[in-house]
Structure 1
Amino acid sequence: MSTWSRPVILLLCGLMLMTVAIAVLNTLVPLWLTHDLLTTWQVGIVSSSYYTGNLAGTLLAGWLIRHYGFNRSYYLATLMFAVATLCLAMMSGFWAWSSMRFIAGVGCALMWVVVESALLCSGTVRNRGQLLAAYMVVYYIGTVTGQLLVSKLSTELLSVIPWVTSLVFCAVLPLVFTRVSASG
């Protein structure tokens, strides 16, 4: 398979959209919580919940990919992240936000592992380095783009959540148009 096959390019496009959404939320969630007068330890717990979700997601990812494949696992990951993001606008309070950030963390980790694994399975011994380099470049460009959007657009919760959630749903679209399989 070519290094830059259609599934690879579409995986990277989905990754880009998800990464922009992740970068925006990882910056704004602690600021929103501070604005809502949560204590420093509560902001820390909510933020830590996201990373605890990342750990749980990585532990769950292998089983999920084996049982449901790359595409369905990716759909589930993006759905988890989107629902958790939407719930931030509908729920308030320390426990609710801790739970939603945990779920978002699981979704992010699942998505990362699915994309990385799919890229490795799509590649050969000779081009895996290129594929993972492309993954990292796309990831960092998405992170920078998310940070730039935070500095240019409104940071109000109810104006950010709709477009961030839309980005996540758009991140599903590239994989709707291709099937990624373990055989490449």
Structure 2
Amino acid sequence: MMKRLCALRRWLRGLEPRVRNHLENSPFAGLQPWLERRALFRFQRQPLARGVAAGLFCGLIPGPLQIPGTLAVCAWLRGNVVAGGVATLYTNPLTTVPLYVLAFQMGALVMPGEQSLPAWNPNGGGFSVEAMGGWMQALGIPLLVGLPTLGLTFAALGYALVHVVWLVPALQRKRRWQKLRVMLSGPHA
């Protein structure tokens, strides 16, 4: 497990020079000082954690606005845009309905009063974009309250997970050094 985490960290650190090289040879080369100040392409712990958090939060934005929203939030929070863009991929046609049901449930917990999940009622008997849109409208205010609540929850968990994954190899190295120090100090009198 530790070897995989160390390999992941090395791979992420190896991405930074390649991304910078592509940026220098692109039409966006003039933006590089602005991008550098905002750490948008740094593959270090803090920018990666912020980027993942931004992507997980913006992943719940409907439709094609997820990536532009993630880019804006990453620029604001100084997060890694590559990590943010990849983190938005948890939402797709297969996960949208379960995520919206979870968001509705979270919104119902936060809102006062009794909230009940509307039943799926497609007119043609199957799945269609119109039926999905009607069902989402029926979810109403609990969904509007639940989406940012769920997004903030995912963002906080993603931020913490990146820090944990990043620090696990360092903590394991520290334990190995402590064991080695105890072994080298010899028997205690």
Determine which structure has the larger helix proportion and give its number: 1
**TM-score computed with the length of structure 1 as normaliser:** 0.31
User: Looking at both structures, which has the greater relative contact order when contacts are Cα pairs under 8 Å and sequence separation is at least 6?
Assistant: 1
TM-score (norm 2): 0.30
Greater Rg over alpha carbons, structure: 2
